[in-house]
Every structure is written in structure tokens, then in C-alpha cells.
Structure 1
Amino acid sequence: MSERIEHFDRLYRDDADPWQVEASWYERRKRALVLAALPRERYRHAFEPGCGNGAMTRQLAQRCDTLLAADFSAEAVAIARETLATSPHVQVERLHLPEQWPAPGAAQFDLILVSELAYYLDDADLACFISHCVDSLNPAGDLVLCHWRHPFDDRRHDVESMYRRFDRAKALSATIHHIETDFQLGVWQRSASL
């Protein structure tokens, strides 16, 4: 884990936007599609694990009363905090997910948005991550995932099989599966009965 953290810290030290999420048309379009796929206009309390430099967080914040964003990279968290300094309703924390999940077991979020994160987790951590997502969603809360579909070195799951694992979570019902050549977007809703 420490090697992976150092790898991401180094990426963000060398470039505050290592994947060009601010400038690239692909990234801006993908972000717009993710935001358009959100079933509700406004959310009371949202969680964005894997927030990176805060590019998505900044736009998501406009639709949330409160938003908790988290990343395991200290460098990414510092950049995101600076990016969101004028948004007092947004809190950016450094968390090692899934083990440092906020208030595990407490249904508290009406939105969890996961972008470009879950495929880095090994099988056990992914199972734990899915469980935390389900347990942390309020009844009828929304879970949104968006991930790059092409193989790369440190990816541990292909997106299609990973999303099928979310489909199998008993408390989640899929409402959107959007697949493009480069990315897959999925939206699930938590069962209204806990």
C-alpha cells in the first residue's frame, strides 16, 4: 500500500492535474455525463471517495448541501482542499479506503460517487468497499460509479466484472448502465427498506 500511496503522491507532486481532468475534452465530457446521470437535482449529504485533485468535487458540490470528499494521497488532498477552499460545505479528508471508511455501518449518505477508484482494490478490499457503500447509503440513496474501461498496469479488475459485483449486491438496484468505448458509468439505488 505504501508504494501505491507514494506513486500517487509523486504523480500529484509532479503535476497537480496528472490525468489532465481539467483540460481534456474526454474528462470534461465524462464529468458532464456523470453529473447528468445523477437521479436527483440536489443531495443532502454526499460522499466522493477517490476525489483526486477535486475537479469532480467542485462541480458535485454545487448539487449538495454537504459533501465529504476523500483520497489516500496527501498531495491530492492538499490540492483538492485548495481547490475547494471557498466551499465551506465541502470537507476533504485523507482516508485509506476501504479500511478508514467514514462512520462504517451508519446509513448517512444519499449519494456516493466513485470515479476511477474501485478497480485498484484487490478482491477482499473490493468486497469490503461494496459492503461499506451499501451500508452507508440512506434508503433510496444513489451509488454512482464511472471507470476507464481499457487495461492498465495497476488495475486489479476489469470494469464489466467489477460492475457485476455491484449488481449482485442484494440491497442495490441498477438504474443506469452506460457503456462507451473508453468508460462505463453505472447508477444503483439502495433499497428503500433497510
Structure 2
Amino acid sequence: MNPSSMPDDQRSAYFEQLYRHAADPWQVRRRWYEERKRALLLASLPQQRYGHAYEPGCGNGELTLALARRCERVLAADASLEALQLAQRRLGEAGGDVNVRFAHQRLPQDWPRILQGSDKFDLIVLSEIAYYLAPEELARVVEHSIASLAPGGSIVLCHWRAPFAQRLLSTVRVHAAFQGAPGLHRVLRHEETDFLLGIWSNDARSVAQREGFT
């Protein structure tokens, strides 16, 4: 099955089968490439600690575990129930599940509702997920991200650049959608042959400026 040609429910079923076949289909726990990429993402975050983080497309939870160590609370979501079970098991074995809540969600329709007076997200991480979205779906994700981002919060995007069969959008186009969004300021752009990492905030100040440097 190719998720690029499927309705959303069938696209979710594709990933369900993928994780049933292999607990780590992209070898995110074994490859140095993946370990290094996570380290770069974490080192690039503008804040040392975050209050409330949202990670849609958490997969088997390897990045989730690292985020849980930097955040007071994490909402980790995925369209695959199998992936969520793997993520819960991973964090439970590592003792990192105390501050993590898991949710079965598809993008963009299941994006969490932020009620008036509720906590917004200080950190939103979209890693290796947004290129599976159709253009109109990505546009809604951009809108949801902006609306649910707390003042001074960070939106992180990290995506593989090479073409592959299931891709609906290029990584450049995905990141450009956030670059052109009103109210967002790019904090960081890290470009390599393999992937593109970008961070945006609704606070235009640099990391140094936030700490009082002039």
C-alpha cells in the first residue's frame, strides 16, 4: 500500500501494519544518523526547559523519551495504536513515562483543542511527519500550531530531504509553509544533505537576547 494515494483511514492503516511488522522500522534506535539528528534537535532548542510539549507522530517513542527529560509534561500522539503501545513500552522501561500522556490522533483533524484558559504548548515538535500531509492538511497544521503555541514557545520541524514513495510534499515546501506564516519568526535553520531542521517562535528575540544580552 502507498499512503500517498489513500484516504486518511487507509493511510493510518498503512502505518499500523508497518509497526506491526517491525518495532523500529526506520532503526531510530540503532543508526548513528538518527541518534545524531536527535542530539542536534535537542541542542538547538532555544530553551533549556519547557513546560508543556506536544509531539504528534511520536512513532515508537525514541524522541519522546528525550523530550520527556527536557519538559515538565509531554503529549505524545500517533495515528498508529501499535506505535503508541511501542512508545509506552519504551518509556516505561526507561522510567520516562511519568510526565508523558499518550493519545491516538491523526493530523490535522485530531489536533488538541485548546480551550480558553487552558495551557497552550510551549513546544511543538513535528519530526518526520509533515511530508505525509496533503497541502490543505499542512495548512491546517500550520494554523493549529500557531493558535496553540504559548507566548515565547517553539515550533520545531525536522524532516528527511530525499524523495521516497510515500511523500506528498517536499521537505522544503513543508518548512516554507511555517516560514511564511504570520506571527512566526525563525530562530534556527540547520541544513544538511540528508535533513532540514528548523525552529520558529512567536518571540522574535534570539536565545542570547532572551537572557538579557543586548
The TM-score range, normalised by the shorter chain, is: over 0.9
Structure 1 unaligned spans of 5+:
none
How far is 1:14 from its partner?
1.1
From 60, 76, 79, give the equivalent of 1:53. Answer: 60
2:9 is matched with 2
Asked if residue 89 in structure 1 is aligned to residue 99 in structure 2, the reply is yes
Q: Deviations over 1:124-180 (max 9, x none)?
A: 110000000111100111000000000111111111122111111111100111110
1:162 & 1:144 partners in 2: Cα distance?
A: 12
Give the 5 Å matches for 1:166-181: 166-181=178-193
Percent sequence identity over aligned pairs: 47
Question: In terms of Rg, which structure is larger?
Answer: 2
1:161 & 1:97 partners in 2: Cα distance?
A: 17
Give the 5 Å matches for 1:24-43: 24-43=31-50
2:189 & 2:20 partners in 1: Cα distance?
A: 35
How far is 1:3 from its partner?
2.0
Alignment TM-score, normalising by the size of structure 1: 0.95
**AA at the equivalent of 2:160:** W
Give the 5 Å matches for 1:1-194: 1-85=8-92, 86=95, 87-104=97-114, 108-191=120-203
**Could you tell me whether the CA contact under 8 Å between 2:114 and 2:120 is conserved in 1?**
no
Alignment TM-score, normalising by the size of structure 2: 0.86
How far is 1:104 from its partner?
4.5
Paired residue total: 192
RMSD: 1.3
